[in-house]
Amino acid sequence: MGTMAAGITLLNRKICAWGRRLRAFARNRGGNIAIMFALLSPALLGGLALGVETSDWYVDHRSMQDASDAAALAAAGDSTTNYVAVARGVARQYGFQDGVSGTTVSVSNSAACPDGGANTCYNVAITYKQQLYFLPVVGFRGDTTTNGQPAQTLQASATAKQVTTPRSYCLLALNTIGTSILGNGVPSTNFAGCNTMSNASATCHGHNLGADFGDAHLTDNGCGVIQESNVPIVADSYAALAANIPPNTCGSYPQEPSRRGDPSLPAGNLWSGTHSLSGNAMVCGDLQLTGDVTIDAPAGAVLVIENGQLDTNGYTLRTSSGSAVTVVFSGTNDSGYTHAPTGGGTLDIQAPTSGVWSGVALYQDPSITNGVDISAAGNSPTWDISGLVYLPHSNVTFSGAVNKSSNGASCFVMVVGDVTINGTGAILENGSCGAAGVNMPTGQIPGRGQLVY
């Protein structure tokens, strides 16, 4: 708007000069009507030219402002790297095509937002050279040329910000390469009441999993009742919990016998009956159930299995009413260790609802990348879990139906490296994650743009 105002100001000065000359002539009584009309003609023509040209300026500028507003909103609402093309496409629909007829459409995604903070707003600036037809007659030639003719530069701009909506997930796949959520036929899978998110692509064959929303950072192909691609990556907010894993006090790591003649596990690695836990408890090597086990931990407990698996061995590991436990798999990356639950029994556990491990039922140390895969999650053993299962580098094959624990709230969240979901996979309704103390993984979903300037 500044260049148009400057042009009008200069033109007004020229017309005022003509007016002063006319007033001086009017005081001279020796003229006649013809001479006066001849002398008045330039001023009359200038006024007419000003009216016609500036009317065009205001009309064109209004159109430019509408175009820049719409283009900025479109750019802010686009979550891909194509925001420039999107904005210019919208401006073209309004008649302002970049590089055509003296028009320039500049688009940026790093404009300063009026409310402060980072330079993350979207700005569209349209510059247009409007040819002058009448004003050059009275000496005003504008500030530029177009097609070799005098022209005046008109400008309009708009700034918009992207408005996002939070969305929580009960299934988050962290791997960022390839397909990190794969539905393999899955005719019976039911993730109703759950949203899924892949930090790479997600592909579901034959069935959409039943999840309310299926999101992917790259491409979502068939996962979710509503499928959205190009969603921003959801950060791993649980890796920092590893700082709370108790120090390793083990001197050795007994493993289950794999060959005839291998030593048996020591008595401390074989559990049955009731185990009262308080604070931190550590098992060095494999932990195997030899009967059903009830963990009594009214104040909550952290059970660390160092360089070993939790083998339910066909039995049930449960938390008693009012008790809670976090099972942590920690240790080294040596290839001989398994850091995961195994066996054909049942995990029936409730996570703590407060403290640093609030909401966390199973936790693999994120520094471990070997021996972390799970081939029959939810099925062997069966998972009746209230809380978060964190397996950041695990390739998980999810086959079973997850239900809530016997004594806990209805909430299950799984964070994995990548996951393949088979036909019987199902997750219970997740309406009580707040009561379970779980901070669910949450992403920000791009929405419509909002004009801010």
For the chain, give the percent of residues with pLDDT over 70: 88
User: Which H helix or E strand runs over 61?
Assistant: helix 33-77
215: number of Cβ within 10 Å: 28
> For position 96, what pLDDT does the model report?
95
pLDDT per position as a tens digit, 33-84: 555 555 555 555 555 556 666 777 788 889 999 999 999 999 998 867 889 9
What does pTM read for this prediction? 0.76
Handedness of CA 166, 171, 174, 177 (dihedral sign): negative
Handedness of CA 370, 194, 425, 202 (dihedral sign): negative
Element (H, E) at 45: helix 33-77
> Tell me: the pLDDT tens digits for 319-351?
999 999 999 999 999 988 999 999 989 999 999
Residues 124, 105: Cα–Cα separation, whole Å: 7
pLDDT, residue 47, reads: 58
Read out DSSP for 63-114?
A: HHHHHHHHHHHHHHH--STTHHHHHHHHHHHTT--TTSTTEEEEEEEEEPPT
Q: Give per-residue pLDDT as tens, 251-260.
A: 999 999 988 8
User: pLDDT for 309-319, tens place per residue?
Assistant: 999 999 999 99
Please tell me the least confidently modeled range out of 8-17, 86-95, 101-110.
8-17
Pairing between β-strand 103-111 and β-strand 121-131 as defined by DSSP bridges: antiparallel
Whole-Å CA distances, 415 to 68, 118, 120, 200, 356: 42, 30, 29, 14, 18
pLDDT score at 7: 54
* Residue carrying the six token digits 């500028």: 61
Please say whether the beta carbons of 388 and 411 come within 8 A. no
Q: Is 47 helix (H, G, I), strand (E, B) or coil?
A: helix
Higher-confidence residue of 72 and 13: namely 72
Token digits for 50? 């000003």
- Picking from 39, 45, 47, 37, the residue whose alpha carbon sits closest to that of residue 12 is 47
The mean pLDDT value for 93-110 works out to 94
| Residues 361-409: tens digit of each pLDDT | 999 999 999 999 998 888 889 999 999 999 999 999 988 888 899 999 9
Confidence of residue 16 (pLDDT cuts 50, 70, 90): low
Handedness of CA 129, 130, 136, 140 (dihedral sign): negative
Q: How would residue 1 be classed by pLDDT, with cut points 50, 70 and 90?
A: very low
Averaged pLDDT score across all residues of the chain: 88
Provide the 8-state DSSP code for 178.
Answer: S
Q: Which residue has the higher pLDDT, 50 or 108?
A: 108
Residue with tokens 């007033």: 23
- Residue 299 has a pLDDT of 93
pLDDT value, residue 187: 73
Neighbours of 159 (CB within 10 A): 22
Output the pLDDT for position 40: 52
Q: Is the predicted pLDDT of residue 5 greater than 90, yes or no?
A: no
How far apart, in whole angstroms, are the C-alpha atoms of residue 159 and residue 71?
9
Q: Quick one: how far is CA 170 from the chain centroid?
A: 15
pLDDT tens-place string over residues 276-316: 999 999 999 999 999 999 999 999 999 999 999 999 999 99
Question: CA–CA separation, 338 vs 119, rounded Å?
Answer: 47
pLDDT tens for 79-92 read 678 899 999 999 99
User: What is the reported pLDDT for 277?
Assistant: 95
Q: Is 276 helix (H, G, I), strand (E, B) or coil?
A: strand
| Phi, then psi, of 153 in degrees rounded to 5 | -80, 125
Q: What confidence category does residue 424 fall into, taking pLDDT thresholds of 50, 70 and 90?
A: confident
Report d(CA 113, CA 317) in Å as an integer. 54
Q: What's the distance, CA 375 to chain centroid?
A: 29
Q: What is the pLDDT of residue 3?
A: 54
Please give the residue that has the higher pLDDT: either 194 or 289.
289
Mean pLDDT over 173-183 rounds to 96
Rounded average pLDDT over 222-250: 95
Least confident of 7-21, 123-137, 381-395: 7-21
**Other Cβ atoms within 10 Å of 117 Cβ, number:** 10
Please check whether residue 429 is in contact with residue 411, taking contact to mean a CB–CB distance below 8 angstroms: no
**Segment (H or E) for 362:** strand 360-364
The residues facing 144 across adjacent strands are: 151
